[in-house]
Amino acid sequence: MSKRKSAAVSEKAPKRLRSAANDEDEGEEEQHATEGDSALSQRFQGPSDVVSDAGVVQSITLKNFMCHSLLGPFAFGSNVNFVVGNNGSGKSAILTALIVALGGNALATNRGSSLKGFVKEGESSADVSITLHNKGKDAYKLDLYGPSITIDLRITREGLRTYKLRSKTGQVISTKKEELISILDNFNIQVNNPISVLTQEMSKYFLHSKGEGDKYKFFMKATQLSQMKEDFIHIKATKELTEQKLENHGEYLKDLRCIYLERKERYKSLASLCEMQTKLEELQKQMAWALVAELEKDLKPAKERLQAEGRSTVKYDEKVEEWENNVKGAEEKYKEIQEQLERITLQVQELQPKCAELKAEAQKSNSLLKSCELTVHRCRNNLRDLEKDRAQLSSRIKDLTLNISQTTGAESQARAKHMEQIETELQNLNLQISTLGQQIDQFQHACSRAKEEQGKMIKEYDELKKYVEASKRRLQTMESSRTNRLRRFGDLMPSLLEAIEEADRKGQFQRKPRGPLGYLIGLKDPELALAVEVCLKTLLLAFTCDNYKDEKVLKGIIGRVYRNNRRPAIITSPFLPDVHNTSGRGVNHPQYPSVLQALIIKDPVVANCLIDQRNIESILLIKNRAEARRVMQGKNPPANCFQAFTMDGDQIFTNKNYSSDQNRANYLSGDVEEEIRHLQRELENQKGQEVRFQQQMRRLEEDIKQNEGLLRRVVMEQRTAKNKATKLQLELTDLRNVEEPQSEDLRPLEEDLQEIVTKISSKTAEYEQAKTRMANLKADYEKADQEYRQHKESISTITDEADSVKEDLSKTDQEVMKCRHHKKHYDDKRSAHLRNIQALEDQLKSKEENLAASVAKASEIWPERLEVSRSAKSIDGEINRLKIKIATQQEQQGDREEIVRQYQEALEKYKNVSQQMRSLNSFIKKVENVITFRLKVYAELRMFLSARCKYYFNTMLAQRGYSGCMKFDHKNETLTISVQPGQGNQADLSDMRSLSGGERSFSTVCFVLSLWAITESPFRCLDEFDVYMDMVNRRISMDMMLKVAASQPYRQFIFLTPQNMSSLPVSKTIRILRLKDPDRGQNKQ
């Protein structure tokens, strides 16, 4: 309840009421109701003065709140305020904004489940500004805020809300919600209390509520008794938990006391360690100087050994010098023999040109000789042919001379006529043969063209069948790779890997081979699968071994598995644990990855193999071909990059390009089902092409058969015509030969005979001349060949001499190598000897430094040198035994400082816990007394408030002539309300559920007014309280509320109603705020 006090209520009510459940009887309630009569009459008559108006609402403004762009500012009066408007005009929005701005949650408004739902659609935030009066004795920080406090709330689209608390001057005083809570507590503003703010939904729920338990809960919440009850329950639970912890701490305190007593005894038993500590310090002094004596003793043998090694150095120097002289002598001998060999080589080089010249002359003479021999042979053949011609002409002349006398004239005429007929027939046959020849050429050309096309189609068909078979195999491989990805690398690959695993289990490999490499890599970008396959090619099927022994074993396994099939390659290279460092030689492009960067390789061995074999760190992958050419063939190609591959498998160099024959990825593609569908479609297309090829080939075979048949027929016709023409030609020739020669025909033959005789004489002279020239050329050739052979023999002799010199040179070279080896041997021994001396010197120096350090350390322990007769080992043993004894005693008793510290800690801890236990016991007793007293006060307060509520309820009902009764059952937490319209017997009272809507609404108003009378709040808000009342009940209820408001001018009342309220009396204490009708098109006021 508020700090302000009613003029008629003299009891001091707490600021916020707390509750707990106790049982009272009806007699006690009636007694308290009688005692409150005078207070009720004074309350309705009105107070003598106004105590305070702190906490009432001065004004409110809404922006982008719910469906309204701007509402307000609305200035409220200090007493009665009616907010009037039609549905949708913003009445409920004002009430919702009031609840949210004053710290209420979204669920309390019954308008949504989240604050972000209050932001107007399309806007980023909603703003609410509320100004509260801050005057009177209940004012909050009046000197800081002034006479009014403005609360600015902003709700973002994400549902976040921020506050700004401003003073009267507009200055921001705070932005913390804790400050707002302090203000609300000071003014006793409870927006979540339905008696302070009764929303439309809560009013409807309360009006239609039929449960007696709900009414009791409403009463408890309105009077804040429920909160008090929850607080008492929490305090009791906390007290019980504290008592339980206190009981546990009692056991803990006993343990602490035992620990304290134990450590106190150990603290008292520390004196026996001092003597042993003193003896230990004395032994440590002796140990320090004993170590010095032993180091001095070890130093003398080291010096003697160093001197002995120094004397041995001379012997090594003599040996090295001796073999240096031997090396010089052997090198000089080698140089002499090499110079001799160079002189011989120079002689051979000088003789070589002369030898080549003589060889060329001999070859030239041989060529001339052979040419002359051909001329002699040709002349001999010409003479033979001329003799044959002379004999034939002589015989012909003789025959012609004999036949002239035997031939007659009549026969000559008959032969001439027959010859003319044969010539005519020959002309016709030759024309027919020519025509048939053209037809033969046409048919032959058609056949050859068809056969050529058939050959091409056969090749294409064979290729297509290969493609079909390959596609079938790939499809079968892909289908089998659904369950085993290894089958994409070949049907035998799973068997091969099983055999490798078996061999590895048997220990046949030193290190297990890796492979196939394509199975052990992955792609970061599946679109680059084809590019990577074209780049790596057969490496995808390859295996890699660590050594040649493993390679031999792997070859045997592959041979047994693959037999006659194509076998995967094997790469032998040592396995390394880390991937090669390619930062200095790899390409690093800001946009495009290298092959190494595009691959997912978990095994460093696989990555190193691909780097070594293919330089994948220097190859870029660029999806677009044009972009790849621009990058690689531009002015500044990427550093350390010599080629790139595109998404289609094209290979791009800096000066040339190659297109890929492969169009799909076979091994690295990710989607197996898509590859299977693609192969099935490709196989169907290839089968269709195969059918079309077969049809075309059948048509070509039919055309070839038809053309060949026509060609055979025409050839037969031409052959028949040619045979006939040949016969006629022979017959014509015979007739011409039978023709009677004339005497004048002998003259040309005789002239030819005379010409042949002349030619024979000329050719005979030419033949003799050629024979003479051939003899001369033969003599010249034999002479040149003899000179060439002699010169060549001299070169061979010199070459043989060079061979012996070369042999001597090789022996001398071996001698040089031998001398150098011996020299190196003694050089190494001398170097090792010198290193040994240096090591001895370092050891001696280190021992001297250790001695000096040991002396310094011993001087620090005890400055005067002690002569110790015992060895350091025996002293160290005694020190260790003494340390163990001290440690054992310290382990039993603990370290002195640790024991003192633990004793003090145990004492302090024991005292602290004892004090805390006493304090807690005292506190629990006080809490028990306070709770007992407050529970008693709570029961009395609940009984008093119940009695006052019943009294005020009956008084309100009586104003309309109703009678009623309220029965509180605090044990079962129920509230029964009975009402009888009109004056009647108490027996006629009936439950509110039997009343009409208006009567029930009027009874609810009476109940609310009775709760108003027993609770405190700076303002009251009712939303559409009269929605279910008739005109009579509405007027009576309104009069009652105005009467109550008039009797409480220090309290603010805000009523929201869709009624016109034009019948209200004109009064300074009543203010009516009329809202504009909603603009349904724009949702603005």
Residue 431 CA to residue 835 CA, distance in Å, equals 114
Residue 785 CA to residue 796 CA, distance in Å, equals 16
Query: 594 falls in which pLDDT band (50, 70, 90)?
Result: very high
pLDDT digits (tens, 9 = 90+) for 694-714: 888 888 888 888 888 888 888
Q: Secondary structure of 683-700 in the HEC alphabet? A: HHHHHHHHHHHHHHHHHH
State both tokens at 792. Answer: 């060549």
Which pLDDT value is given to residue 487? 75
Which pLDDT value is given to residue 267? 67
pLDDT digits (tens, 9 = 90+) for 65-118: 988 888 888 899 888 888 888 888 888 888 888 888 888 877 767 777 788 888
Consecutive H or E run containing 720 = helix 672-738
pLDDT digits (tens, 9 = 90+) for 1062-1075: 777 777 888 888 88
Residue 79 CA to residue 99 CA, distance in Å, equals 19
Could you count the other beta carbons within 10 Å of the beta carbon of residue 660? 15
State both tokens at 883. Answer: 């340390």
Residue 990, strand partner residues? 979
Handedness of CA 330, 333, 334, 335 (dihedral sign): positive
Task: Give the least confident one: 95-109, 422-436, 640-654, 894-908.
Answer: 894-908
| In the predicted structure, residue 644 carries a pLDDT above the cut 90 | yes
Which residue's entry shows tokens 């064979």?
462
| In the predicted structure, residue 300 carries a pLDDT above the cut 80 | no
With both helix axes pointing from N to C terminus, report the angle between 548-562 and 493-505 in degrees, rounded to the nearest 10: 140
Consecutive H or E run containing 754 = helix 746-861
Q: Tally the residues of the chain.
A: 1085
Q: At 615, is the secondary structure helix, strand, or coil?
A: coil
Query: 47 falls in which pLDDT band (50, 70, 90)?
Result: very low
Strands 651-652 and 643-645: antiparallel
Could you count the other beta carbons within 10 Å of the beta carbon of residue 150? 23
State both tokens at 272. Answer: 């026996």
Q: At 901, is the secondary structure helix, strand, or coil?
A: helix
Residue 1039 CA to residue 763 CA, distance in Å, equals 169
Which pLDDT value is given to residue 273? 64
pLDDT digits (tens, 9 = 90+) for 967-994: 888 888 888 888 777 655 554 555 666 6
Alpha helices in 16-116 (DSSP H): 26-35, 37-45, 91-101, 106-109
Mean pLDDT of 413-435: 78
Q: Which residues contact 20 (CB under 8 A, 6 or more apart)?
A: 228, 229, 232, 233, 935, 938, 939
Which pLDDT value is given to residue 478? 67
Pick from 519, 515, 513: nearest CA to 553? 513
| In the predicted structure, residue 516 carries a pLDDT above the cut 70 | yes
| In the predicted structure, residue 131 carries a pLDDT above the cut 90 | yes
| In the predicted structure, residue 42 carries a pLDDT above the cut 70 | no
Q: Is 934 left (phi over 0), alpha (psi -120 to 50) or beta?
A: alpha
Question: Which of 169-173, 423-427, 957-961, 1023-1027 tops mean pLDDT?
Answer: 169-173
Q: Which residues contact 537 (CB under 8 A, 6 or more apart)?
A: none
Q: What is the CB-side half-sphere exposure of residue 1014 using CA atoms within 13 A?
A: 29
Which pLDDT value is given to residue 272? 61
| In the predicted structure, residue 3 carries a pLDDT above the cut 60 | no
Residue 825 CA to residue 316 CA, distance in Å, equals 11
Mean pLDDT of 309-315: 77
Which pLDDT value is given to residue 958? 82
Residue 118 CA to residue 106 CA, distance in Å, equals 9
Query: 8 falls in which pLDDT band (50, 70, 90)?
Result: very low
Of residues 214 and 542, which shows the higher confidence score? 542
Residue 788 CA to residue 366 CA, distance in Å, equals 13
Buried b (16+ CB within 10 A) or exposed e, 129-140: bbbbbbebebbb
Which residue's entry shows tokens 């160290």?
876
Residue 264 CA to residue 946 CA, distance in Å, equals 65
Residue 1011 CA to residue 945 CA, distance in Å, equals 9
Residue 737 CA to residue 720 CA, distance in Å, equals 26
Query: 34 falls in which pLDDT band (50, 70, 90)?
Result: very low
Mean pLDDT of 609-628: 90
pLDDT digits (tens, 9 = 90+) for 371-419: 887 787 778 777 777 777 777 777 777 677 666 555 545 566 677 777 7
Q: What is the CB-side half-sphere exposure of residue 567 using CA atoms within 13 A?
A: 15
pLDDT digits (tens, 9 = 90+) for 138-173: 899 889 999 999 999 999 988 888 999 999 898 999
Q: Which amino acid is at 942?
A: R
Task: Give the least confident one: 359-363, 423-427, 435-439, 980-984.
Answer: 980-984
List of long-range contacts for 157-161, beta carbons under 8 Å, 24+ apart:
157/116, 157/119, 157/123, 157/124, 157/125, 158/116, 159/114, 159/115, 159/116, 160/115, 161/100, 161/115
Of residues 678 and 570, which shows the higher confidence score? 570
State both tokens at 56. Answer: 């009432």
Mean pLDDT of 1004-1009: 80
pLDDT digits (tens, 9 = 90+) for 496-508: 999 999 999 999 9
Write the burial class of residue 877 (CB in 10 Å: 0-12 exposed, 13-18 middle, 19+ buried). exposed
State both tokens at 448. Answer: 């050859």
Residue 541 CA to residue 760 CA, distance in Å, equals 83
State both tokens at 720. Answer: 């028949």
With both helix axes pointing from N to C terminus, report the angle between 409-480 and 672-738 in degrees, rounded to the nearest 10: 170
Which pLDDT value is given to residue 895? 65
Could you count the other beta carbons within 10 Å of the beta carbon of residue 934? 17
Which pLDDT value is given to residue 43? 37
Question: Which of 56-65, 906-915, 929-938, 977-986 tops mean pLDDT?
Answer: 56-65
Question: Which of 281-295, 313-327, 856-870 tops mean pLDDT?
Answer: 313-327
Write the burial class of residue 1043 (CB in 10 Å: 0-12 exposed, 13-18 middle, 19+ buried). middle
Which pLDDT value is given to residue 50? 42
Which pLDDT value is given to residue 1085? 36
**φ, ψ for residue 865, nearest 5 deg:** -70, 135
> Cis before residue 1018, ω within 30 degrees of 0?
no
Mean pLDDT of the residues in the chain: 78
Residue 890 CA to residue 884 CA, distance in Å, equals 9
Which pLDDT value is given to residue 270? 62
| In the predicted structure, residue 483 carries a pLDDT above the cut 90 | no
Residue 261 CA to residue 276 CA, distance in Å, equals 27
Question: Which of 191-195, 416-420, 651-655 tops mean pLDDT?
Answer: 651-655
Could you count the other beta carbons within 10 Å of the beta carbon of residue 1084? 13
DSSP 594: B
